[in-house]
Amino acid sequence: MCSAANLLEILPPEIILGILLRLDAVSLTRCQLVCKFFRDTITQSANLVYTIELAISQQEDGQTSILSPKEKLELLRNQQKHWTQMRWGDELRYTMKKSGLWELFGNVLVQRNLDHSFTFVQLPSTHRNILERTWTVKPERPHIVRDFGIDPSQDLFVLIEVPRRLRNVSSPIYNLHIQTMSTAKKHPLAAESGIIRHARHAFDQSTSFSIQISGDYVGLFFHDSAMQNEFIIWEWKTGNKKLHFDGDNLLSFSFLSERHILFSTFTEEGAFELFIVDFIAESSEKQEYNSVSHGLKLALPQLALDVSPLMLTVRSDPSPHWAPHSDLKVPFYASHSDEKIFVASLWLQKASIRHLTFVFTLSALLPRLHTLGPISTDSAIPWEDWGPQTTRMDESHRINAGFDTWACYLYGTKLALPEQSGRTSGNFTVHLFDFNPRAVRKAISDGSRIAEGSVPNIEHIELETSLCVTAPSVFRAGDLFEDEIKTWLPYRWISRTIPDANFSSVMCSEDSIIIVQDSTGVGACYRVLSF
């Protein structure tokens, strides 16, 4: 009778390899522990090793790439090494246009020009074989654009047209023009005129907008000062409305999944909360957010009595299940794992204004989605039941006042924050935090240094040194919060000084760290540090 080991040895290698190729990364890792034969078979196959290392780095395979698994593996390893060490290659500079309208999404930077045209830049990447490409389009309509959103994977360009300022107009019309990035013409998948029209009960000259695209949906937030805030989701291909809220307690939003959306809110009692809605199941009729039938509220820590809440904004990039356009033929791209992060920017007032970054993963919220139901005033899940183990809250050092203006400071599991303080010897420094738990565990097993506390508690920043942080971040009782607050979400950190970048802002894309030098004059530019 043959033993299991002998049976494996007499099977044709191509059959064994074919079976192993059907396994996921976790199963392959377990197989490596079974016996030497499996371990050798897996480690000698570039295809299988590539599958494992994709999972560790939270990447997905680019199906349209013509590269071999061995070539992809080499690119992946180089990419991860350079990000881990924060060693970029080329630095590119793009002059900041004076119109003030810009967008960064899907590794494409867009700016509006003074002649009302738009210049697009496909940011390059050495390690993903993406070439720089620049093009300019000028829409025939609309003429008055107040904001816009893009999705390069769908060649989608959504422009917000505001009504002309007319007196005594009872229902001013706001138009969303559904166009292509490549031509600024009507998108071929958009219905009828390619314009989504929305009537509001009044016109507010000071209205600002937040727009996000997620697959078939576009979300638009009207931030108003003279009337209530308003939020709407449409199917951009059909123009059908899916969700419609109003109320000043809504502060910001981010798509959570293909059917869920996340809001930051401010309660009547003066507390911040997170709020999740199933916008597919919810009514499309206009309503107040706290009247929904398919929602969930999550409480944040109770503030101390002498602390006033100022603002809470929430963000995540990229949108759910986003993938680059097939024409790019990338070897791999950031995956849509449960470890994708959301970052809430929290502004508080005590003796002075203080800023906190509050990071949590999709996995922290997913177990709660089955409990969605009617909302009531006291239905928020207590902070202690969901927050401490699955989040990380830290105070920022010397955050630029424009931090939330340049809000693209995260991508996937990475968060980039600027600092220029005594801790950095007065040097402008970029901190890179990576909340990928698999990468943290691997770094620790490979011998990386483990910090004794969280990075904001370090008195003097030791540059170009990587640390793994597993110790909690702690806020003592009575400082900013009523009770002692500990958060434990682990991360890996590294920081570097950026020369000639005094008091700038920082953004992060899939392949770049972007230094925003928005000083007045000819020096205003985007400095793209490319990986």
- Percentage of the chain beyond pLDDT 90 is 77
Classify domain 91-530 at the CATH class level: mainly beta
Q: Is the pLDDT of residue 400 over 50?
A: yes
Q: Is the pLDDT of residue 286 over 80?
A: yes
Closest by alpha carbon to 67, among 409, 266, 332?
Answer: 332
Phi then psi for residue 442, to 5 deg, are -65, -40
User: How does pLDDT run across 141-195, given as a tens digit for each residue?
Assistant: 887 899 999 999 999 999 999 987 666 667 889 999 999 999 999 999 999 899 9
Higher pLDDT, 225 or 344: 344
| Number of helices followed by number of strands (H, E) in the chain | 9, 34
User: How does pLDDT run across 113-124, given as a tens digit for each residue?
Assistant: 999 999 999 999
- Give the CA distances from residue 506 to residues 101, 184, 498, in Å, rounded to whole numbers and listed in that order: 17, 29, 11
Q: Is the pLDDT of residue 10 over 50?
A: yes
What average pLDDT does range 526-530 have in this prediction?
Answer: 96
Cα–Cα distance for residue pair 448/466, rounded to 1 Å: 7
pLDDT value of residue 5: 57
What average pLDDT does range 182-210 have in this prediction?
Answer: 92
Mean pLDDT: which of 157-171, 254-268, 417-431 is highest? 254-268
Q: Is the pLDDT of residue 3 over 60?
A: no
The beta-carbon contacts of 440-447 under 8 Å, at least 24 apart in sequence, are: 440/468, 440/470, 440/490, 440/491, 440/492, 442/56, 443/84, 443/468, 443/492, 444/468, 444/470
What average pLDDT does range 506-522 have in this prediction?
Answer: 86
- The half-sphere exposure of 465 on its side-chain side, counting CA atoms within 13 A, is 11
- Give the CA distances from residue 326 to residues 65, 153, 205, 378, 439, in Å, rounded to whole numbers and listed in that order: 9, 8, 40, 47, 27
Q: Is the separation of the CB atoms in 455 and 469 below 8 Å?
A: yes
pLDDT value of residue 192: 87
Q: Is the separation of the CB atoms in 221 and 239 below 8 Å?
A: no
Listed by start position, the domains of the chain span 4-85, 91-530
Q: Which of 110-121 are b and which e, b meaning 16 or more Cβ less than 10 Å from the residue's Cβ?
A: bbbeeeeebbbb
Peptide bond connecting 388 to the previous residue in cis, omega within 30 degrees of 0: no
Q: Which position has the token pair 């089955």?
A: 370
Pairing of strands 230-235, 287-288: unpaired
**What separation, in Å, do the N-terminal and C-terminal C-alpha atoms of the chain show?**
55
SS (H, E, C) 147-167: EEEEEHHHCEEEEEECCCCCC
pLDDT value of residue 1: 45
Please name the residue ranges forming H helices in 170-248.
Answer: none
The 10 Å Cβ neighbour count of residue 93 is 11
**Angle formed by the axes of helices 69-85 and 46-56, nearest 10°:** 30
